[in-house]
Amino acid sequence: MKIRATGICVCLMVCSLGGSYAGSAAAQDTVVGKMGNVEIKTSELQRIIDAQPPDVRKQITSGVTELDRLARNELVRQSLVAEAKAKGWDKKAEVQFIMERAKEQALLQLYMSDVLRVPSTYPSEEEVKKAYQANRSAFALPAQFNLAQIFISVPENADKEAQVAAQKRAADLAAKARAKGADFAQLARDNSDHKDTAPKGGELGWLPDGQILPEIRAVLDRMEKGDISAPIRSATGWHIVKLVDKKPPSVRPLPEVRDALIQQMRLRRAQDMERKYMEEMVSRTQPVINQVELSKLQTAK
């Protein structure tokens, strides 16, 4: 008989009711909602609220509308549970097995979230700064361009006459747009075929590097703020582009990413603590597997 060790991994995702079950002593045990024969009392609803993570709990209690939705959802849930029990589903062996596994998983999640609780003092300000400096590339922002355009629609498979007409129209509009004193926005409103941007004077707004058509992006490096391009051909037509402004590649500042960075650091610390906890448990008592018996469960080929 072959014996070998195996590792164990526990998911530490917090379940939907994974918080404290303290409840509110002030809550009166009166009926707050009813659906058929199912009732839900104030104290029961308070327990559900108290069991939520802090951010969810704050959202639920922010107004009567959210509390009403919670009460209605709970009444529907309990009504469905009662219906399932009335039909004997809770007596089925396969359902009982799944229910027992769910209870164990809930117990395990709550237990492990307490055992592996990350200290509230982590990370320190110095640790946050070091993590930021070590991962600056993760907070990089690409170059951005504030653009406006006049668009002349003509697909690549259009007949030659339409192609020539569209190219001439684009060339004429580019010349007018580049003339001294020209009003680019008005030309776009009057002539652009792009229905979304034409009413706004052709404004495309700020676009990151990766969201700009390659044909247009290739031209932008040769343009300065305020420049207007010659007609640029794409698969859908001709673009006369105005470079309103541009921003070079940059890195998001620490104050802007602090909260997300701290959340990532705390999650990583919890994962490290979990791995270490599992390794220590396995080192104390090695799991053993009976390979002969295990092979009996293998699907026949």
Task: Give the least confident one: 10-24, 70-84, 171-185, 274-288.
Answer: 10-24
pLDDT score, position 301: 53
Q: Is 19 among the domain residues?
A: yes
Give the helix ranges, DSSP H, for 120-178: 125-134, 160-178
Question: Beta strand 38-41 with 31-35: parallel, antiparallel or unpaired?
Answer: antiparallel
Task: Give the least confident one: 17-26, 28-37, 124-133.
Answer: 17-26
Domain count, the chain: 3
pLDDT score, position 17: 39
Tell me: pLDDT of 26 over 80: no
Q: Is 2 among the domain residues?
A: no
pLDDT band at 29 (very low <50, low <70, confident <90, very high): confident
pLDDT band at 1 (very low <50, low <70, confident <90, very high): very low
Selected residue with higher pLDDT from 114 and 8? 114
pLDDT score, position 54: 87
Residues paired with residue 241 on neighbouring β-strands, in sequence order: 149
Please tell me whether residues 201 and 147 are part of one structural domain. yes
The pTM is what? Answer: 0.59
Q: Is 269 among the domain residues?
A: yes
What tens digit of pLDDT does each residue of 144-187 get? 999 999 999 999 899 999 999 999 999 999 999 999 999 999 99
- The rounded distance, in Å, linking the Cα atoms of 150 and 192 is 5
Tell me: pLDDT of 262 over 80: yes
pLDDT score, position 6: 37
| Structural domain of 240 | 143-248
Compute the average pLDDT of residues 282-295.
92
Please tell me whether residues 107 and 122 are part of one structural domain. no
pLDDT score, position 245: 97
Please tell me whether residues 26 and 95 are part of one structural domain. yes
pLDDT score, position 62: 92
- The rounded distance, in Å, linking the Cα atoms of 87 and 91 is 9
Please tell me whether residues 266 and 211 are part of one structural domain. no
Task: Give the least confident one: 10-14, 181-185, 235-239, 256-260.
Answer: 10-14
Q: Are 202 and 182 in contact (CB under 8 A)?
A: no
Looking up residue 220, the CATH number of its domain turns out to be: 3.10.50.40
Please tell me whether residues 51 and 187 are part of one structural domain. no
Q: How many CB atoms lie within 10 A of CB 283?
A: 8
Q: Is 44 among the domain residues?
A: yes
Tell me: pLDDT of 15 over 60: no
Selected residue with higher pLDDT from 158 and 16? 158
The helix-helix angle for 184-191 and 160-178 (nearest 10°) equals: 160
Q: Is 3 among the domain residues?
A: no
Q: Is 256 among the domain residues?
A: yes
pLDDT band at 28 (very low <50, low <70, confident <90, very high): low
Please tell me whether residues 181 and 276 are part of one structural domain. no
Q: Is 1 among the domain residues?
A: no
pLDDT score, position 300: 59
Distance of CA 165 to the CA centre of its chain: 46
Please tell me whether residues 150 and 243 are part of one structural domain. yes
Please tell me whether residues 239 and 155 are part of one structural domain. yes
Please tell me whether residues 32 and 158 are part of one structural domain. no
Selected residue with higher pLDDT from 2 and 109? 109
